[in-house]
Amino acid sequence: MSGHSKWANIKHKKAKEDASRGKAFTKLVKEITICARESGDVIGNPRLRTLIEKAKQINMPQDNIKRAVQKGTGELPGLAYEKHMYEGYGPGGIAVIIEMLTDNKNRAVAELRHIFGKKGGSLGETGTVNWMFNLKGIIKATGSLSEDELLEKLIDFDVENITKEDDLFIITTELKALENVKKAVSEAGLKVEHSEIEWVAKDSVTPPEDQEEKAIEFLQALDELDDIQNVYSNIG
């Protein structure tokens, strides 16, 4: 599947490392807070429900989750996070989409520009690269089924693609089908480790050999910034 290759695998492994050292808490708290701003009703806000499930999976204390929701709904004072999206190119001509949640846009953009300048990228205007991507539902799950067995169980759902890398299934769905497919994947006996709406590249690109390592280092540097929630790329 385009957009799900080396960088997607690195991100998945890094997410586990971040969870083990608590860094994932910071990013998730921001997401929960801004999502709860729209609605703190877990039943009526599927996105909030998914984020809370994700927080529980990485053993975030219930009090942390509750406070994040209450800051979003205004029951507790908190920082006002804003959501921004940036686009551009990295080493080797790879396209990148960056999703940011920050309480200080000027600081966050300055850090972003520093990484682009230092690592050989170029930050573009809105629309520079997003035409190369589509928004899709992405589910990552582990289990002992084969691809054919899982496909058979999901045959009646809006699933666009299923791939398996080692013990990890990557399932691509239409946006509206994400929650139903996630439920079906769980009922099939798999453990859902990730369920998100993501920017997925229509086609992947392979940087020149001497640029590939620089491209990966560039993406990792972006992902390390505290205000960056997600980094997507079309690297093959």
CATH number at residue 140: 3.30.70.980
Same-domain check for residues 89 and 183: no
* Mean pLDDT of all residues belonging to the chain: 87
- Choose one of 33, 50, 73: the last residue of a domain: 73
Containing structural domain, residue 156: 133-201
The answer on 180 and 162 residing in a single domain is yes
Mean pLDDT of 30-39: 87
Claim to verify: residue 52 and residue 163 sit in the same structural domain: no
Give the chain's domain count.
3
What mean pLDDT is predicted for residues 120-145?
A: 93
Give the global pTM: 0.82
Structure tokens at 176: 């509206």
| Residue 195: pLDDT band with limits 50, 70, 90 | confident
SS3 120: coil
Residue 209 included in any domain: yes
**In terms of pLDDT, which residue wins out, 90 or 38?**
90
Are 170 and 59 within one domain?
A: no
Residue 109 forms part of a structural domain: yes
51-79: average pLDDT: 86
218 pLDDT higher than 90: yes
Claim to verify: residue 168 and residue 197 sit in the same structural domain: yes
Q: Pick the closest to residue 33 from 1, 80, 93 (CA basis).
A: 80
CATH of the domain at 50: 1.10.10.200
Assign 233 to helix, strand or coil.
Answer: strand
44-59, pLDDT tens digit by residue?
788 888 888 888 888 8
What is the arithmetic mean of pLDDT over 171-180? 91
> Are 151 and 197 part of one and the same domain?
yes
Q: How confident is the model at residue 144 (pLDDT cuts 50, 70, 90)?
A: confident
> Distance (Å, rounded) from C-alpha 76 to C-alpha 69?
9
Q: What is the DSSP letter of 177?
A: G
Residue 72 · residue 108 · CB < 8 Å: no
Same domain flag for 181 and 211: no
Residue 64 and residue 90 in one domain: no
5 pLDDT higher than 90: no
Close Cβ partners of 87 (under 8 Å, ≥ 6 residues apart) = 95, 96, 97, 98, 123, 124, 125, 126, 127, 128, 129, 130
Residue 211 has pLDDT above 80, yes or no: yes
In a domain, 90, yes or no: yes
Question: Average pLDDT, stretch 16-37?
Answer: 77
Q: Is residue 1 part of a domain?
A: no
167 contacts: CB under 8 Å, gap ≥ 6: 142, 143
Mean pLDDT, range 160-172, rounded to an integer: 87
- Separation in Å, CA 61 to CA 25, 53, 54, 67, 224: 10, 12, 12, 10, 23
Same domain, 115 and 212: yes
Lowest-pLDDT range of 8-22, 91-105, 134-148, 154-168: 8-22
Residues 180 and 218 in one domain: no
Q: Say yes or no to pLDDT of 123 above 90.
A: yes
69/10 same-domain check: yes
* Same-domain pairing of 225 and 172: no
